[in-house]
Structure 1
Amino acid sequence: MADLTLLLGGDVMTGRGVDAILPRPAPPDLREPAVRDAREYVALAEAANGPVPRRAPPSWPWGDALDLLDRLAPDARIVNLETAVTGRGTHDPTKAIHYRTHPANVAALTAARLDVCVLANNHCLDFGPDGLADTLDALAGAGLATAGAGPDAAAAGRPAVLPLTGGRLLVWSVTAPSSGVPPHWAATADRPGVAYLPEVSAASAAALAARIAAEGGPGDRVVVSVHWGTNWGYDVPAEHVSFAHGLIDAGVDVVHGHSSHHPRPVEVYRDRLVLYGCGDLVDDYEGIGGHEEYRPELRLLWLPRLDRSTGRLRGLRAAAVRMRRLRLERASAEDNRWLADRLAGFGPPFAAGPTVDPDDLLRWDVAGGAGASPE
Structure 2
Amino acid sequence: MQKGTHSETRLFFCGDLMTGRGIDQILPYPSEPRLYEPWVRDARDYVALAERRNGPIERPVAFDYCWGDALAELERFAPDLRIANLETGITTCDDCWPGKGINYRMHPDNLPILTAAGLDLCTLGNNHVLDWGRAGLIETLDCLARAGIATAGAGRDPAQARAPAIMQLPGNGRLVLFALGMADSGVPPAWAASGCRAGIWRADEEESGAIVAYARKLHARRDPGDILVCSIHWGGNWGYDIGRWRRELAHRLIEAGVDIVHGHSSHHPLGIECYRQRLILYGCGDLLNDYEGIRGHEEYRSELRVLYLVRFDAARNCLLGLEVVPLRIRRMRLQRAQPGEAAWLAQQLDRESRRLGSRVTLGKDGRLYLQVQ
Q: Which residue of the other structure, out of 269, 285, 297, is the alignment partner of 2:303? A: 297
2:56 match? 51
Quote the Cα distance in structure 2 between the aligned partners of 1:354 and 1:210: 30
Equivalent residue letter for 2:205: E
- Map of 1:126-145 to 2, 5 A cutoff? 126-145=131-150
Distance 1:231 1:336 in 2: 21
Is the 1:266–1:351 contact (alpha carbons within 8 Å) kept by the matching residues of 2?
A: no
Relative to 1, partners in 2 of residues 1:89 and 1:151: Cα closer, same or farther, differing over 3 Å?
farther
2:219–2:228 CA contact under 8 A, matched in 1: no
* 1:175 partnered with 2:192: no
Q: Does 1:249 align with 2:255?
A: yes
Displacement after TM superposition at 1:216 (Å):
3.0
Question: Aligned letter for 1:300?
Answer: V
TM-score where L is the length of structure 1: 0.95
Write the distance in 1 (CA, Å) between the matches of 2:307 and 2:251. Answer: 23
Matches within 5 A, 1:72-111: 72-111=77-116
Q: Which residue of 2 aligns with 1:159?
A: 164
Letter in 2 for 1:42: V
Separation in 2 of the partners of 1:166 and 1:215? 15
**Structure 1 residue 199, shift from structure 2 partner:** 2.4
What secondary structure sits across from 1:133 in the alignment?
helix
The residue identity in structure 1 corresponding to 2:271 is P
The aligned length equals 367
Tell me the amino acid that sits aligned with residue 91 of structure 2: T
Q: Among all aligned residue pairs of Structure 1 and Structure 2, give the percentage whose two residues are the same amino acid.
A: 51
Measured at CA, do residues 215 and 16 of structure 1 come closer, stay the same or move farther in structure 2, by a change above 3 Å? farther
Helix, strand or coil: the match of 1:58?
coil
Distance, in Å, in 2 between the alignment partners of 1:127 and 1:229 is 22
Q: What is the aligned partner in structure 2 of residue 313 from structure 1?
A: 319
Is residue 358 from structure 1 mapped to residue 361 from structure 2 by the alignment? no
- In structure 2, what residue type is equivalent to 1:362? L
The within-5 A match list for 1:220-235 is: 220-235=226-241
Instruction: Give the residue type in structure 1 aligned to 2:198.
Output: P
Say if 1:297 and 1:322, in contact at 8 Å, map to a contact too. Answer: yes
Corresponding letter in the other structure for 2:246: H
Normalising by structure 2, report the TM-score: 0.95
Shift of 1:263: 0.4
Which amino acid is the alignment partner of residue 126 of structure 1? D
CA distance in 1, matches of 2:7, 2:260: 18
Secondary structure in structure 2 of the residue aligned to 1:293: helix
The CA deviation at 1:352 is: 3.6
Q: Where in structure 2 are there 5+ consecutive unaligned residues?
A: 1-5
2:281 to 271, 275, 284: 275
Which 10-residue stretch deviates more, 341-350 or 140-149? 341-350
Q: 2:330 aligned to 324, 328, 336, which one?
A: 324
Q: Is the 8 A contact 1:265 1:351 kept in 2?
A: no
Task: Please report how far the alpha carbon of residue 220 of structure 1 lies from its aligned counterpart in structure 2 after TM superposition.
Answer: 1.4
Q: CA deviation at 1:205?
A: 3.2
Deviation of 1:353 after TM superposition, in Å, equals 3.7
Residues 267, 349 of structure 1: 8 Å contact kept: no
Equivalent residue for 2:40, pick from 32, 35, 44: 35
Aligned-partner Cα distance in 2 for 1:139–1:12: 14
SS at structure 1 position matched to 2:101: coil
Offset, 1:217: 2.8
Alpha-carbon shift at residue 213 of structure 1 (Å): 3.5
- Cα 1:205/1:305, change in 2 over 3 Å: same
Kept in 2: contact 1:262–1:299 (CA 8 A): yes
Give secondary structure in 1 for the equivalent of 2:352. coil
Shift of 1:64: 0.9
Q: Deviations over 1:235-262 (max 9, x none)?
A: 0111101111111111100000000000
Do the aligned partners of residues 56 and 346 (structure 1) sit closer, same or farther apart at CA in structure 2, a change above 3 Å counting? closer
- Separation in 1, partners of 2:227, 2:105: 32
C-alpha distance in 1 between matches for 2:365 and 2:206: 38
Q: Give the distance between the partners of 2:128 and 2:217, measured in 1 at CA.
A: 25
Residue pair 1:202, 1:246 contacting (<8 A) in 2 also = no
| C-alpha separation in 2, matches of 1:22 and 1:175 | 28
* Alignment partner, residue 294 of structure 2: 288
- Provide the rounded CA distance (Å) in 2 between the counterparts of 1:136 and 1:363: 35
- CA distance, structure 2, for counterparts of residue 175 and residue 156 of structure 1: 11
Q: CA deviation at 1:72?
A: 1.4
